[in-house]
Chain A
């Protein structure tokens, strides 16, 4: 562990030991100390709009049934039968009032309550041997939502989600609340890449610098209106609370003109004006910045872009939400959703979906460009040479830690947090500093839960009888 504390110090200085992108020991710590505590996104309420709708999602190896009960309540139930531990739901989505384990046929209501076990009387002697009453599939230790985004935490004492997100919630609204109805989702597409999960999270958090190089071809084929990918240096990056992102600088104009410039029709602009705060509107209308990619710590990302669609000069915006779900130190499962304002005109929704598919998702052009880099990086990070190398992630800082450019003043940028114009790795450092803070803090033992347990003399640990 002494080696790790040295590693964490390096990370805090903006020097990144290259092996953290492919290291079993680091991954073990991430599992034990980060994903055991942080709020992790698992889905959106619009994916389970009606009683009985459910989706099955994972946090590392833990599978959860995210279901809306007959009482309309959203729950995340650990997808493990209380009897032999079989997965109760194996389809990724469906609608059911009850679930039944395929192994021995134990059945549960969609709020988790155990309603029946075959041969209860003959096999267990009825309630005297196994108290069915009060038994329930394990709920996620903590569940909370923001704008319909459903998060779970493995820590029952996790702070409220809103507090955890902090001022990043201000920016989340651009992606998830363009009208009072919020967003609806399509997907997710789910696929695996042989790359470490942190790379995508960092890239989306603040890497405007890779666009001119990695994504040259996307600009060359005329998918974007901006003539050059270098345009990105005029945008700013911001970090606020537990997340941060990138923006594009918009041409001069009013709020309405600028929102129209990225392709929003007037009906949507009007709803944004009624839904967003003065400060949220000012980031666009007064300061001239439009959000693009973003990440919320640890592994949730967003993207908002406005490519040309349908062989015309017109651009149309799309929003994608994605998680970088770790599978191992060198593998990540990407879940990528299309998101759109629920009140958007149907034609807009259809074209926006097309714009999304062109750029992101398993066949998206940006996706192909990015992943090639990330796989290659992950591969190389596994070797012995990578253990000798600390990568410089100090872009935007001078040697004495002063910033290359001053942060934007409140008069230049009305959003919360700290924003800088141009290329920098401020956000990647913020993200990895949080990562270091989690990895430094030893995990406390989790409560054990016994299914209808009997007291054992001298059993270690706190036992909760269910």
Chain B
């Protein structure tokens, strides 16, 4: 019997779902990709079209994590100060606010 951690299967399923979703977005990439990097991070950005609009796909090739932001979310970034980003960077690889606080 293979030894497994609790929740390993669920994690694998979630990763497969996210990968399928990413492929579906990339099927409708519009225009070229942009790659930006410094010594701490590398990021790939491209515009993707959904049936009814557009999003900006931001991916980290190293971790495989990605997010597809709508124009409204991107505009919200312009309202932020360094503290917001410091807080985000201060909690690497996870969301700034947990799901529990979300609905609130």
Contact = CB atoms under 8 A, between A and B. Distances in A.
Interface string A47-66: 11111111100000000000
Interface in B59-82: 68-73
A50 B51 CA distance: 7
A96 B51 contact: no
- What class of interface size applies to chain B in its complex with A? 10 to 19
A49 B72 contact: no
B103 A113 contact: yes
Interface in A113-156: 113, 133-134
Nearest to A136: B103
A95 interface: yes
A222 interface: no
B48 to A, nearest CB: 9
Interface string A91-107: 00111111010000000
Contacts of A50: 24-25, 50-51
Nearest to B104: A133
A280 B73 CA distance: 48
A93 B53 CA distance: 8
A98 B71 CA distance: 10
A96 B72 contact: yes
Contacts of A100: 72
Interface residues of A, number: 20
Nearest to A93: B52
A98 B73 contact: yes
| A interface secondary structure, majority | mixed
A311 B32 CA distance: 41
Nearest to A46: B51
B25 A97 contact: no
Given A47-B51, A50-B51, A52-B55, A95 B70 contact: yes
Contacts of B52: 47-48, 53-55, 93-95
Given A133-B103, A134-B103, A98 B70 contact: yes
Interface string B74-104: 0000000000000000000000000000011
A98 B50 contact: no
Given A95-B55, A113-B103, A133-B103, A49 B50 contact: yes
B54 interface: yes
Nearest to A55: B52
Interface string A363-389: 000000000000000000000000000
Contacts of B25: 50
A55 B50 CA distance: 13
Contacts of B24: 50
Which of A94, A100, A133 is the most central at the interface, judged by chain B CB atoms within 10 Å of its CB? A94
Contacts of A98: 70, 72-73
Contacts of B68: 51
B32 to A, nearest CB: 21
Interface of A: 46-55, 93-98, 100, 113, 133-134
8 contacts: A52-B53, A52-B70, A55-B52, A95-B54, A96-B53, A96-B72, A98-B70, A98-B72
